[in-house]
Structure formats: C-alpha cells, structure tokens
Amino acid sequence: MDNNNRRVEENEHSPAAATARRKYPWAILVVIILFVVIPFISWYGTWFGRPLSDAKMEEYLHDRNKPRNVQHALSQVANRILNSDQSVRKFYADVVAASENPQSEVRMTAAWTMGQDNSYEDFHNALQKLLEDTSLGVRHNAALALVRFGDASARKELVAMLKPYSIRAPAAGTIELIVKEQNVAIAANAPLARIKQPGGNSTEIQAPEAGHVSSLVVSDGASVEAGTELMSISPSAEQVWEALRALYIVGQPEDLPTVQRYAAPVPSMPDRIQKQAASTSEAIRERARKS
C-alpha cells in the first residue's frame, strides 16, 4: 500500500505531470478568451455607437448589401448633429436618399435622423412623404420627427400610436400561432404566427413594433382568408410616452378622449405615462382656450 502511494506521489511530481499542469491552464485561458473576445468583436462590429471616419461614413451610406451598415452611418450622422458638428451636413443628401431605401429598418432610422435637424427643409419634405409609408414603424418615426419642425400634419398618426392595431393574415391558409397567450410583451420583428398555405408554402408574420398582445382573435390551427384579423397589439410604454409628448405640442381637443385613456392607470404602463397624459390633456385644453 505504501509502495502504491509512493508511486502515485512520484507520478504527480514527474516532469510529464508538471508539463501537463502548465499546458492545461493555458488551454483553459485560451477558451475563456475565445468566449469573451469573439462575442465582443461581433458586438463591436455591429454597435451603432462605434465612431466612423468620413470615408467609412461615405462607404456605409452607399452600401446596398448590408442595411445595418447604412443604419450605423445614419446613427452617426444623428450623433454628430446632436454634437453641433456642421461638417456632417455634407451627408444630408445621403440621409434623404436613405429615406427611400427598400428596407423599412433603414427608412425608420433615416426618419429618426432627419428629426435631429429641423433647420433643413429637405428633411422636412422627406418626412412628409414618409407619412404615407407602408411600414407602421416608419410612419411613426416620421410623425414624431415632424413635430420637431413645428408641423402638426402628422397629428392623426400620433393619435393612432396610442391605439391598438390589428395583425391580419397576408394570405389564405392555416394559422399556426407562435404567440398563444394574451398580455404577452413582444419586441419589434418578433414572430407572431405562421400561415401555412395550401401549396405548401409558409409565411411568417412578425410584429411591426414592440408592444403587447391585447387579444387573440383566431385559435391555433384555424383556417383563415387573406385579410382576416388574427390578433390585436397594444402599443408599448415607450411608444405611448413619445406620442403623448408630441401631442403635448400639437394635440387638439378632438384628441382628448384617446389621450385621457392613459390618464388613469393602465396595465403594463408605468406611472410616468399617467402623469404625461394629464400634462398633455392640460396643454391641449390651454391651447384651445387661447385660440
């Protein structure tokens, strides 16, 4: 028994064992670095806060293959506007061009960027066109940006931002619900359902904006026609907050019933929504009295 113990101790202190002990910590360290560094590099490469040189801005704004590159450049234009960097105006024509990009995410970012400088009339004109966009998110960003120009033409869109909206079937088929419960919070572009069409094709339906599933109109597995209402989505707290702030400036008395719904407690809405709704209602009444 003593001989066996002695052999074990000798093996543990042998040169081969010492070499193995030196190797394994390095291997573990390499694995840890890979787990930390690679995700960081991936994140940093897609982070819109990463500064871009003018040459890289020019390249990204004209990238036709990677919409995120265009969004990155647009966000950098917005940052430079907020920092009072007048040199960024040389990219303004590219920002207007981005408002016509085929990707709705790019048009949304362009609308937000144009709202940062209310002294440039071409931005104003482009935002008015975006009020007719097919994308809900683009219209909403354009409506909020137009208020910064003192333009009340988007008031109806701002009021609509406070209301639930319907998700409808894009085609006939069998519905497969992905979100199967009410009062579930959803992110923008989150999958909501699939339509299985008779020919075997399947179409996924995504949430156009963040919000809450307020009601399910059809059951899982039901047959639906194109245009059938599938579910109702209530706006997110952030969307309600921004719309109420905008209506504080441009709201009219006929908007009060919708605004005042948020002056009372609403499930899933923080207290600041109540306070803002009360302030917005008072601002609308005061404006009406003065006029």
| CATH code (residue 82) | 1.25.10.10
Q: Does 86 reside within a domain? A: yes
The rounded distance, in Å, linking the Cα atoms of 121 and 151 is 12
Sorted by sequence, the CB contacts under 8 Å of residue 152 that are 6+ apart come out as 250
How much helix, strand and coil, in percent to the nearest 5, is found in the chain?
Answer: 55, 15, 30
For residues 68 and 146, state if they share a domain. Answer: yes
Of 234, 262, 282, the residue at which a domain comes to its end is 234
Per-residue pLDDT tens listing for the chain (291 residues): 555 555 444 455 555 555 555 555 655 655 554 444 444 333 344 445 578 999 999 999 999 999 999 999 999 999 999 999 999 999 999 999 999 999 999 999 999 999 999 999 999 999 999 999 999 999 999 999 999 999 999 999 999 999 999 999 999 999 999 999 998 999 999 999 999 988 888 999 999 999 999 999 999 999 999 999 999 999 999 999 999 999 999 999 999 999 999 999 998 899 999 999 999 999 999 999 998
Of 234, 252, 278, the residue at which a domain comes to its end is 234
For the chain, what is the domain count? 3
pLDDT at 4: 52
Q: Does 23 reside within a domain? A: yes
Q: Domain containing 208 — which CATH number?
A: 2.40.50.100
Instruction: Look up residue 137 and give its two tokens.
Output: 């998110």
Q: Does 67 reside within a domain? A: yes
pLDDT at 198: 85
pLDDT at 159: 98
The rounded distance, in Å, linking the Cα atoms of 73 and 88 is 11
Phi/psi-derived region of residue 183, left when phi > 0, alpha when psi is between -120 and 50, beta in every other case: left
For residues 37 and 52, state if they share a domain. Answer: no
The rounded distance, in Å, linking the Cα atoms of 13 and 283 is 82
CB of 258 closer than 8 Å to CB of 234: no
The rounded distance, in Å, linking the Cα atoms of 165 and 149 is 27
- Please, is 175 exposed, middle or buried when counting C-beta atoms within 10 Å of its C-beta (0-12, 13-18, 19+)? buried
pLDDT at 50: 74
Q: Does 83 reside within a domain? A: yes
For residues 51 and 140, state if they share a domain. Answer: yes
Q: Does 267 reside within a domain? A: no
Q: Does 35 reside within a domain? A: yes
pLDDT at 200: 80
For residues 65 and 109, state if they share a domain. Answer: yes
| pTM, 2 dp | 0.80
Instruction: For residue 162, give the 3-state DSSP assignment.
Output: coil
Q: Does 274 reside within a domain? A: no
CB crowding 228-260: b at 16 or more within 10 Å, else e: bebbbbbbbbebbbbbbebbbbbbeeebbebbe
For residues 134 and 189, state if they share a domain. Answer: no
Of 151, 175, 210, the residue at which a domain comes to its end is 151
For residues 59 and 138, state if they share a domain. Answer: yes
For residues 20 and 61, state if they share a domain. Answer: no
The rounded distance, in Å, linking the Cα atoms of 162 and 273 is 11
Domain hosting residue 35, numbered range: 2-44
Q: Does 208 reside within a domain? A: yes
For residues 114 and 67, state if they share a domain. Answer: yes
